[in-house]
Amino acid sequence: MRPIYHALVLNLHQPAGNLDYLLEHKEWEAHEILWALDRMPRSVWPYEDIARVHLSLSGTLLETLMNPEFQSRVYGIAKVGDLLWYLQNTRVFEILGTGYYHPVLPLIPEADWDEQLQRWLGVGRHLFNRGTFSGFWPPEMGFTMEMIPLLKRLGYKYVLVDSKHVEPVDTMRWEEVRYRPHLARYGNDEIVVVVRDRDLSDAQESGMEYGWFEHELHERTRWCDFPPLVTTCTDGDNGGWFRNTTPKGNFWHVFYEDFMEQIRKEWTVGRPIFISEYLERFGAHGYVKVNTGAWNTGWHHGVGFMQWTGSQRQKDALERVKEISAAFHATYRQLEESGALNDPWRGSQMEEAHWRLLRAETSCNFYWGEAWVEHCHADLDAAQSHINQATTNSGKKVVSLT
């Protein structure tokens, strides 16, 4: 029987300072997260010849993991430096690019997209010892077609999108839309889009056995007259299924090890594959339109970003993000044109303002209803203060904002 290819994608994100906070206030939860991260390479080591896993790691998570003080603090729980080294194993892991502070990109000003992505590339290239990354993971799978030119300029070959939002330009059967990579075009730029199967991803998130999954692979792809690519994407460090420390109660031991053993015994046609390898072998076919939206969060379908914009306080915070972003970019241009940025002090004030603006845009500030909205405002307050200082000389404004 023909193989049914499977692309496993795991998103890993912790907001800035969150692991340190959990170690102080919810120690067991921090341990579970660290063990969930550490479990990944250990689970695939015995299957290096067949295991294939895509990982997206946010910049703020990488920032924490690469911090020597944090590594020392958690020594004895997990060897985080070793973990980062293990993730460089290109035989089993394909690292995806993403946004540094994990923002829902369509919800933040387009003027900030480039820096969110460039900052991640800076740390990603350093930690994973490579110049380019083939695939892009939009945080929260928040995608809009307007992102395509930037992704192409930064060297990405494909982007992951959710099946809920994909519409074929020309006639395609259901299985073609979902189980085959396509092309999406915006202006003069086009990129490959790889479609996440929402239903199977929900099962991956909540817990499933390989026997059930294999049956679904057969049923969903039975009419495919092409090599099918079934893509499942979930968080990899959240939820009991991934954090559970009991061998018989987590994803790697219950599902993935069984999957690998079935392959070894030649009892299954399921085959893990890197998306980049699939594209090299089989390419992408047909054009699609991807409607603006996000993935489902368990209680919302991702259309309209209601998870992040459902209350007035969330909307107000996002509106303030736009205002401070506009003020930052206008100030930066004026300081640059006047030559004032040659002053190291002013430059440092603008850099301080910039990273606080970008951190204010993290999706977590809006995901938890109104619980974290104040984190957004605190960073915006700091950004505004640094902008004001950068435009002041001996107590007098040197730049006038209109």
Establish if 261 belongs to a structural domain: yes
Is the predicted pLDDT of residue 147 greater than 80, yes or no?
yes
Last residue of a domain, one of 305, 336, 360: 305
Shared-domain flag, residues 59 and 203: yes
Shared-domain flag, residues 251 and 352: no
Shared-domain flag, residues 209 and 90: yes
Going by pLDDT thresholds of 50, 70 and 90, the confidence category of residue 27 is very high
Is the predicted pLDDT of residue 316 greater than 80, yes or no?
yes
Shared-domain flag, residues 392 and 260: no
- The alpha carbon of 221 is separated from its chain's Cα centroid by a whole number of angstroms, namely 27
Beta strand 189-196 pairing with 182-186: antiparallel
pLDDT digits (tens, 9 = 90+) for 174-228: 999 999 999 999 999 999 999 999 999 999 999 999 999 999 999 999 999 999 9
> Helix (H, G, I), strand (E, B), or coil: what is residue 191?
strand
Number of domains in the chain: 2
Shared-domain flag, residues 136 and 36: yes
pLDDT at residue 300 in the model: 85
Name the residue range of residue 160's domain: 4-305
Shared-domain flag, residues 178 and 94: yes
Distances (CA, A) of 400 to 44, 327, 338, 350, 394: 58, 11, 12, 16, 15
* Nearest by Cα to 350 from 399, 394, 317: 399
Shared-domain flag, residues 257 and 128: yes
Shared-domain flag, residues 55 and 161: yes
State percent of the chain over pLDDT 90. 93
Last residue of a domain, one of 256, 282, 305: 305
Shared-domain flag, residues 345 and 243: no
Establish if 402 belongs to a structural domain: no
State percent of the chain over pLDDT 70. 98
pLDDT digits (tens, 9 = 90+) for 248-261: 899 999 999 999 99
pLDDT digits (tens, 9 = 90+) for 29-57: 999 999 999 999 999 999 999 999 999 99
**Model pTM?**
0.95
pLDDT at residue 394 in the model: 38
Shared-domain flag, residues 183 and 241: yes
Last residue of a domain, one of 285, 305, 325: 305
Establish if 140 belongs to a structural domain: yes
Shared-domain flag, residues 49 and 126: yes
pLDDT at residue 393 in the model: 66
Mean pLDDT value across residues 223-237: 97
Question: Terminal CA-to-CA distance of the chain, rounded, Å?
Answer: 68
Establish if 349 belongs to a structural domain: yes
φ, ψ of residue 224 to 5 degrees: the values are: -75, 125
Shared-domain flag, residues 123 and 230: yes
